[in-house]
Structure 1
Amino acid sequence: MLTTNTVARAGLDAIALKPAECDVSAASALPVETIAIDYEGREHLPARETLRALSNEAAVYLTTPVRADGFDPLGDDSLVAELPDSVGRVLVAGHPAYLTSDERERAVAPRLGAALERDPDAWVGTESVERIAMATGATQYELLSRTTHRDLRALRAAGFDGGVAVYAPTVLTDDEDRILEAVGDYVARRRPVAEALPAGAATDASATGRAREVLLAAATDYALVGTADEVREQTDAVREAGAATVVGYPAQGLEPFLE
Structure 2
Amino acid sequence: MKDAAFGALLAIQFLTRLPVPLACPWTPATRRWAARAYPLVGLLVGTLVAIAGSLLQGLLPPPLLALALLSLWVALTGGLHLDGLMDLADALGSNTPLERRWAIMKDAQVGSFAVLALVFHLAWKGALLWALLAAGASPWWLVPVIVLGRLGAVGLLVAVPAARGEGLAHAWQQSLTRRDLVLAAVIPLALSAWVPGGAWLALGLAAFIIVYGLAVRRAFGGINGDIVGAAIEGGELWLLLIAWSWWSFAMA
Taking structure 1 as the reference length, what is the TM-score of the superposition?
A: 0.27
1 or 2, which has the higher helix percentage? 2
1 or 2, which has the higher strand percentage? 1
Structure of greater relative contact order (alpha carbons < 8 Å, 6+ residues apart): 2
